[in-house]
Structure 1
Amino acid sequence: MSPRSTRRQRVSPQPAPYQKEGYAAVAHWVSLDRDNEGFVFRKFDELAARNLLYLQSEILHLEGRLRELDEQDVASDDMALKDAARTWEVLVEKVEAGDDAAKKRMRLIEDVRMKLKEYHERLLLQSEIAKLPRPSKRVLAAYRGWFKTPPALGGRAKTFLDDRDDLVATNNAMEADYLSRFLRQHWPAKEDIPTDGCYVIGRFNEDAVRVAVGIINTIVAAVLLVGPISGLYLVQSDKSKLAMIAAFTATFALTVGLLTNARRAEIFGATAAYAAVLVVFVSGDLSSS
């Protein structure tokens, strides 16, 4: 999905079989893309942090009350109280017998249990949300262009796309290498019929981009292996061979960095292996000469 033009000559909108308005229209537009690139939403980082701080403060308060009970248990000479602090079954019996102190302790334990569960669940959810990527500039430009001309939603909802740093894309399977980005920007797309006659959105199949990237990577890999071997076989000068190895190795490292999602450590490893292959290929000739 990409914006094809921000402004075009006004055309007569074609009637749709079923017109939608407001949230229904936005939901329909978001779901049109088969790759789910339009699933872009606010993640509310500030509110999430504030909620975690509130929960943390509640647990700190409960922790303080537990410590007060612990200090009472240590300082008390009541053996029944110490037994209730040491043995779970005794505490349960006291609760069932209607002991107020035991009931208070049990309620505090249950509150701690519930708040800790809620707090840990929120921490885990927040850690998963933090792993989700931000929407690409291409997708966000298309979304904003359609969403704001004219505004699809009213009230505060019409501003939810303004802050890109607080947006999250649920589709995190998109290839982020430079080649994939370039192809997405220039891939032939089927244009949506504009609802306002002004803004046109182009949609394309992400699977086709992946296939094209795979084919290009295969061809480049073959060229970077067959080409240097053929060149090194034909060149007789040792100095020229060493210069060619350096040039081909640098080209390979640059290609891996641009055409793949390899990390820096993986680029170093692949480049070292590639250089080793070339060196082994010519080492016999260099040593004999």
Structure 2
Amino acid sequence: MQGYEKLAALISSSHGLQLFRKFGALQAKTLLYLQAELSILETQLADIMEQDQDEANAGDQEKLKFPDSWLALKQSDQNPAADNIQYRKIVEIRECLKSVDAALLQQVEINRLTQASTSDYRNLTKWLDHPDGGNMFLPAREVNPWGEEHFADLVCLTENTHDSDLFTRMWRNGLIPLYHRYVGRHIRDPVGGNGIHRYSDASIATFCKVCGTVLAALLPTMSIFALYFVKAPLMRLGMIMAFTATFTTTLAIFTRANMFEIFAASTAFAAVEVVFVGGNLTANY
């Protein structure tokens, strides 16, 4: 295999490398042109309706029915002697609206696509240049979609479910590339001899999940354990604030919890600490 066939085989075998340009500027320009076209048609229809109303007021019995009867408006197109310009314009607008609606809904779906990750982008461009990979087979114009200037315009067709939280993203896009630069590339061989080193997303996700689970178990008990040995009330209050801040930060990093969920969890966490401190103070007295 070579050329596009080889590139297609690579992309199909690695979901993270399914990176394509969404051509955001062209998409927006197309929507703007459709919007301008529809706006002009809207103005033309308003002018036609005003003209038909003037003729109706002047005694045109057929056009007098147009504002109140769709059937009369439609039948004007079937009567060779009738003026059907308003009906024709409505049909033209209807077709234009279909194009506008389809383009808008399509843009909504495109905007939902996952942004390309830096590590996947680097892997793909590295493969394109590698002698055992793409070997720079693409002509200048055709390699342009993966140029650095278009990185922000690249999307991944498959959502990476392992990048669900900040901690996992830090490992996948930051720590793993750093590890690979100094250690991994010396002890791991490229897959298939194509210059691409692969690290299992599932393994990274499992490791991050275990870290989060252990921290979730330790943090509440650690805070209570530490508060037990602190007797000064002001010091305890300060430690409650510190542990609660640590807890909320941990939630933001290790989970996909929204702000409401973080506030609720931090309130419950602080309440547990306060109850423990209050009970401990009462016991001391």
The two structures have a TM-score, normalised by structure 2, of 0.82
Match of 1:63 in 2: 42
Moved more, 133-142 or 232-241: 232-241
From 156, 179, 183, the equivalent of 1:169 is 156
Aligned residues with identical type, % of pairs: 31
Mapped contact 1:134–1:164 kept (Cα < 8 A): no
Match of 1:213 in 2: 208
Match of 1:183 in 2: 171
Looking at structure 1, the residues matched to 247 and 124 of structure 2 have their Cα atoms a distance apart, in angstroms, of 37
From 86, 89, 101, the equivalent of 2:83 is 101
Match of 1:230 in 2: 225
Mapped contact 2:49–2:86 kept (Cα < 8 A): no
Residue type of the alignment partner of 2:113:
L
SS at match of 1:122: helix
What is the CA-CA distance between 1:280 and the residue it aligns to?
A: 1.6
Looking at structure 1, the residues matched to 81 and 28 of structure 2 have their Cα atoms a distance apart, in angstroms, of 40
Residue type of the alignment partner of 1:258:
I
Moved more, 253-262 or 218-227: 253-262
What runs of 5+ residues in structure 1 fail to find an aligned partner?
A: 1-19
Match of 1:203 in 2: 198
How many positions carry a matched residue from both structures?
263
Mapped contact 1:43–1:168 kept (Cα < 8 A): yes
Moved more, 208-217 or 184-193: 184-193
What is the CA-CA distance between 1:135 and the residue it aligns to?
A: 0.9
Instruction: Give CA-to-partner distance per residue, 1:233-272, whole Å, 9 cap, x none.
Output: 3544434433332232222122223222334454333323
What runs of 5+ residues in structure 2 fail to find an aligned partner?
A: none
Residue type of the alignment partner of 1:212:
F
- Specify which structure has the higher proportion of helix: 2
Looking at structure 2, the residues matched to 122 and 167 of structure 1 have their Cα atoms a distance apart, in angstroms, of 19
The two structures have a TM-score, normalised by structure 1, of 0.81
Question: What value does the CA root-mean-square deviation take over the aligned residues?
Answer: 2.4
Equivalent residue runs for 1:1-289 within 5 Å: 20-33=1-14, 36-76=15-55, 77=58, 78-99=60-81, 101-102=83-84, 104-149=85-130, 150-162=135-147, 163-174=150-161, 175-184=163-172, 185=176, 186=179, 191-195=190-194, 200-286=195-281, 289=285
